[in-house]
Amino acid sequence: MHPEKKALGWLHGALLAATLTLLVASREFVSLGWLALLGLMVVAGLVWQQRTAGSTPLIDSLGNLLGALVAVLGGLWAFQQSTELKGLPRPVALIPFLGLLVPPLMLIKLLKRQIPRDYWVLQAMGLVMVAIGCVLGLERWEILFLLVYTVLALVSLRYRQGPAAHDAGGASLTDPGRLVALVMAVAVALFFGIPRPNVALWNPSTQFGLTQRASSGSSNEMDLTSTGTLDLDGEVAFEVVVNQANGAPGNLAPETRFRVIELELYRSGRWRGTAESTAGRGVPMASSQLPMLGSSQMLLTYKVLSRDITTPAVVDQPTLFLPAPVKGQAGLDLLRRDLQYQQIITRGLPTERMPVQDEVTRTIRREDLLVSPPELRAWARNLAGMLIDKPDGQQPVVGRARILPGRPGMLPAELVAGPADAPLPPAAYEELARRLSDYLALSGDYSYSLDRRREDTAVDPGVDFLLNVREGHCERFASGLALTLRALGIPARVVKGFRGCEEQAPGFYLVRNYHAHSWVEALVPRLEKASGSAIKAFSWEWLSLDPTPNSGDSQEIQDAAITAAARWVGLLPFIEAMDRYLRASLIGTLYGLPLLAWIVLGLALMALATWLMWRNRRVRALRAQRVWPEWVLLAKRLGVPCHPGSTAREIALQAANRLPTAETAWRQGMVQAAEFGYSLRFGGAEPTLEQTDQLLDLARQVRAARPWRQQPG
């Protein structure tokens, strides 16, 4: 294969890989049919260009007209489509649709008559498509397209030879392989060396719920209908400073749980809280003066950094003191002040059971705590029958792991006897809830996974998880247990928060988004018996249950922590803080500019554009003036006498006659260069960059071939 055609082949392969990368990443914004049609058009154009080697290009005027139509009509289409993405700012919403205009524009540019600079324009367009594809978010398997593009693009640079390979002095202009390899090596070193979270810091489709990928973190609802892979996000959610009564730094257990919000309402696969749902039960105190701390108490000072946390996250135990939080701007505003508040906790206080304090701030609707899919009731009652005690009073053996759930002798058969719609006695609530939690977490019949799958979309997502999928992350397990308890008549709700923390210094802890966790609270009775079997007191308490398999969250978080440590995780808080500061400073500066400053800025941009246009025109003129001197040097090499009295046409005709007869393009180029010089000097014609590059390109071809060596004598 001819070297130039081979170089074009590698370039066309890189452009095809770049196009596929963009189209695959755009499938969540545009229908697959339109994407397939666009892909077929690009493939057809690349195949045609490769077969013809550009011998039948588009007419320039037609190519310019098509490009203008794509830009104008495509821009209007992109603007119209972006209005449907309600949750995105307009500039961000335009990105996926404007990106799809690049492939047709690239195709038009490819089919037009090529000049040397077009090679680099096409490479740049391929890079733009890949960049937009990465911004939109790539699944793990889609990274293959990115790798293929990288290989093809690098090889195409190495094979770049011929027309534009040398300057006027014969020096090499295009041997970028070593430089590109060096840049790639530095980029890879920076990629693995600079600390960062495990997911993109800015991903509009993930941030605004427009992709099947999502990252771990806090939210005020739970959607079981969503599918795709859940990424572990290493961004800091909040900071905690712990002080003992004497002011010395305090300690938190590595598995400390932080409560954010309770989700009690379940409808069609979605959990959400009531309007009054909030974290940190107890009466908030507006006073800034702290009470006296006991020896077993500690003061926790929180600073929330995540914009997703809109209610205070607190250690999961009865709150003794919670000052009113600092009011800041909510929502997606980058300039929001960090939320700060304090909490007093008691060391060693049991957190498995908590008294019902909700009536302090709201009234619990018991019917809301019992809503579950009707088709789950018979299955839940059968499962409860599997978990009752054996006739000898011992726990049953259940699951692949053959576990003994719950506590021995606490769930006799008579407590759960009866049909599926028969209510259970409150005395069975606690032990049955414990055994159901143990079954989901330990039996081996369910497994932990970050892949959120659905198998039967015709049934409720909660039912699909329990009966069909049987794998998921903490949200799936918490939802499954809560729905099962409700199907048995046991009031239950889901709690979202965080589990775990990282100690950065004595008394200073970070909680990251990948510490996000969900668990269940079941409403169970506390029975205090007097002598004999008489009940002395009766009250309701929330029993905390964690049905997520132990090999799930903890192992994933441990692996993520090990990876993060290898990336200089000690620098990550500084980098994140600097990033937030720079973004907030930039936006604050822009919003704070007066009208006069905006006018001055606009005039400055107009002046810059005018200067660039003038400079481009001057560069074209200087480049055009090089054309005839280049051909004169070739004429001298061919032995043509170039006397001061000789005209350009005379020199050109003599030189053309000394060039090989078979090289018609060279002979015509010599004559055209002379006419080009005349038009510049006497005709006042405006030189075009295309015409200039074509003649310089031919001159370089002649110099590289050295036809004067073939002349006799």
Section 240-251 average pLDDT: 91
Most confident of 276-280, 490-494, 596-600: 490-494
Most confident of 139-148, 150-159, 377-386: 377-386
pLDDT over 50 at 562, yes or no: no
DSSP one-letter string for 104-152: HHHHHHHHBPP-HHHHHHHHHHHHHHHHHHHHH---TTTHHHHHHHHHH
Question: Other CB atoms closer than 10 Å to residue 534's CB: what's the count?
Answer: 7
- Contact between 166 and 8 under an 8 Å Cβ cutoff? The reply is no
**What is the Rg, in whole angstroms, of the alpha carbon atoms belonging to the chain?**
36
Biggest alpha carbon–alpha carbon distance for the chain: 132
Per-residue pLDDT at 360: 41
Residue 537: which pLDDT band, with cuts at 50, 70 and 90? low
Residue 622: which pLDDT band, with cuts at 50, 70 and 90? confident
Question: What's the CA angle centered on 153, arms 151 and 159, to 5 degrees?
Answer: 100
pLDDT over 80 at 188, yes or no: no
Per-residue pLDDT at 527: 74
Q: What pTM was computed for the model?
A: 0.54
Helix/strand/coil for 235: coil
Mean pLDDT of the chain: 77
Residue 278: which pLDDT band, with cuts at 50, 70 and 90? very low
Per-residue pLDDT at 56: 77
Structure tokens at 634: 């070739």
Cβ-count burial of 517 within 10 angstroms (0-12 exposed, 13-18 middle, 19+ buried)?
Answer: buried
Q: Comparing 302 with 213, which gets the higher pLDDT? A: 302
Cα first-last separation, the chain: 34
Q: Comparing 640 with 200, which gets the higher pLDDT? A: 640
- Residues 333 and 335: their CA atoms lie apart, in Å, by 5
Of 318, 301, 257, 267, whose CA–CA distance to 495 is shortest? 257
pLDDT over 50 at 334, yes or no: no
The residue whose two tokens read 């452009």 is 15
Residue 546: which pLDDT band, with cuts at 50, 70 and 90? very high
pLDDT over 50 at 83, yes or no: yes
508 Cβ neighbours under 8 A, 6+ residues apart: 239, 240, 241, 242, 249
Residue 484: which pLDDT band, with cuts at 50, 70 and 90? very high
Amino acid at 563: T
Structure tokens at 273: 């809280």
Per-residue pLDDT at 329: 37
Question: What's the CA angle centered on 218, arms 576 and 305, to 5 degrees?
Answer: 30
Section 200-223 average pLDDT: 55
Minimum mean pLDDT range among 23-27, 137-141, 224-228? 137-141
Per-residue pLDDT at 282: 42
Structure tokens at 52: 């013809």
Strands across the sheet containing 451-452: 214-215, 228-231, 451-452
Minimum mean pLDDT range among 63-72, 258-267, 556-565? 556-565
Residue 476: which pLDDT band, with cuts at 50, 70 and 90? very high
pLDDT over 80 at 137, yes or no: no
Residue 247: which pLDDT band, with cuts at 50, 70 and 90? confident
444 Cβ neighbours under 8 A, 6+ residues apart: 399, 400, 401, 403
Residue 76: which pLDDT band, with cuts at 50, 70 and 90? very high
pLDDT over 70 at 228, yes or no: yes
